[in-house]
Amino acid sequence: MSATYPLFVKRDLDGFFGLFIDNLVQLLLVVALCGALCGMSGDDAYLIFGRILPGAAVSLLIGNLFYAWQAHRVARRENRSDVCALPYGINTPSLLVYVFFVIAPVYRNTGNAELAWQMGLVACLGSGLIELCGSFVAESIRKHTPRAALLSTLAGIAIGFISMTFALQIWQNPILAMLPMGIILVTYFSNIRFPLGLPGGLMAVAAGTLIAWGLPALGLGDWLGHPMTTEAVRNAWADHGLRLPVFCGGEIVSAFREHPKEILGYLSVIVPMGLFNVIGSLQNIESAEAGGDRFATGPSLAVNGIGTIAAAMFGSCFPTTIYIGHPGWKGMGARAGYSSLNGLVITALAFSGTIALVANVIPIEAGIAIVLWIGVVITAQAYQATPGEHAPAVAVGLFPAIAAWGATVMAGAFLVSGGDTMQTVLEGNLKAEVNGFLIHGMNLLSSGYIFTCMILAAISACLIDRRFFHAGAWSLAGAALTLVGLMHAYQVAGNGVGFYFVFSDAPAPGAGLGFHGFRISVGYLLAAMVFIAFGLYRRGRSDVELASGH
């Protein structure tokens, strides 16, 4: 290891708390969704606590330790002490899509939670293989893509799925969450250190935890949104115990042998999500380079795929990914220690069965301000790290990601309303609105939004630079991706919305609705013709002549 790059620095604690809270939220989401929707409760709860969580810990340990080691290598090679490791964790979109469109449907159709789990393993394995294969071509894609196209997607995700989501939680429970937020903002916006060099993240989590337990002790527990209770802690402690990972290759082989047709049917979910993860990780690597840390694209993506494959082989149904937020962790002063510490702590909690215990001792609100700050930094970077003239391209690229966040909120509202489902509403009227927002239009724009953000921003950046043929090529790419269903195509079953791949069979009558974006594909094609025509028109003319119309 580099003599000037220690294994751990104080500011790694700040990075650890932010990354740990994010990963903890994902694991608690796994427990809630798999237990409620996939039959993994009661006698089948062992599938969550004895298979999925230990398997997820294996994948997190592999990735976190690799990215920490990678940071040490970069620091030694470049003789620097400020290299920040790539953040890594469970992929949230894949988690939700695999639950709603693979695992839960299998359980609904068969009533067999173990079979549903096995099909989830197959989906996770497929995603990992796609990510691994994608590592061999990703660098070429990155070289030919404007930085604005790669970073604007992350900014859109940061605004909606990170900053806005956590901001709502903070203002919903202000007594508990706003003091930690104030500590985080003072620490990182004002760049002021606490006495004795105590990390701001640690102080924020400690303050939130003190409020969560102190107010009930003073008889003011009703001031909190959900007071912490000793009974919940005792119950969580009673469920702890050694739960080591189990190799599940046999279960995967059995699923391939006994259910090949069903697996082929789920390729319409697996393939888009695998590609989705490749592009998302690629964008995060570009974000790290914009923040000053250049990591080799191929190995970074390869280990991302290997981690997902390991997750499946040891029982987890959920892919892992290079996380959004590197510039935020780097801005905190985190280096490599935060990554390795996160992997080790998550592994210890999963193997000891104490994840629920930690969630009942430390309130989530105590740490979410850290993740909120990460989202703010990512959004700022999209503008700061791109050429100034490309700022409009960054803005254009925000829209699909914001639509995706809105669509997620809308789907959740349908789910809890207890009234008509989204499917029922769309069956009655494709032009149906929710407070002025077109449901069908929002779903079309949000489907495959990582691709859409990148393509729209790339087209805009190329047009700003008057590279008309390049803009035409990006528009043709949009037409092709839309045609096969990777963009602007979706299926809805009840209130669940997911990809609708062109090579999949149409949903069975009464089972759901599927919408392909053929007309949108034609629109991209027409736009490409316009761009190419202007490219031909530009030949032999100066920029002054083009601007004047002569």
For residue 142, what are the β-bridge partners? none
Question: What pLDDT, on the 0 to 100 scale, is given for residue 101?
Answer: 73
Question: What pLDDT, on the 0 to 100 scale, is given for residue 549?
Answer: 59
Residue 258 pLDDT class (50, 70, 90 cuts): very high
Q: Is the pTM of this model over 0.85?
A: no
For residue 406, tell me if it sits in a domain.
yes
Percent of the chain with pLDDT over 70: 95
Average pLDDT, the chain: 86
For residue 470, tell me if it sits in a domain.
yes
For residue 524, tell me if it sits in a domain.
yes
Task: State pLDDT tens for residues 356-389.
Answer: 888 788 887 887 787 788 788 878 888 988 889 9
For residue 507, tell me if it sits in a domain.
yes
Number of domains in the chain: 1
> Exposed, middle or buried, 469 (CB in 10 Å: 0-12/13-18/19+)?
middle
Q: Which amino acid does the sequence have at 244?
A: L
Q: Is it the case that residue 397 has pLDDT exceeding 50?
A: yes
Question: What pLDDT, on the 0 to 100 scale, is given for residue 219?
Answer: 78
Domain membership of residue 505 as a residue range:
400-536
Closest CA to 208 of 167, 177, 169: 177
Q: Is it the case that residue 421 has pLDDT exceeding 50?
A: yes
For residue 490, tell me if it sits in a domain.
yes
For residue 464, tell me if it sits in a domain.
yes
For residue 157, tell me if it sits in a domain.
no
* Residue 64 or residue 32, greater confidence: 64
* Neighbouring residues of 342: CB distance < 8 A, sequence distance ≥ 6: 16, 19, 20, 23, 60, 64, 89
For residue 193, tell me if it sits in a domain.
no
- If you write DSSP's letter for every residue of 333-402 in order, what string do you get? T--SHHHHHHHHHHHHHHHHT-HHHHHHHS-GGGTHHHHHHHHHHHHHHHHHTS-GGGHHHHHHHHHHHH
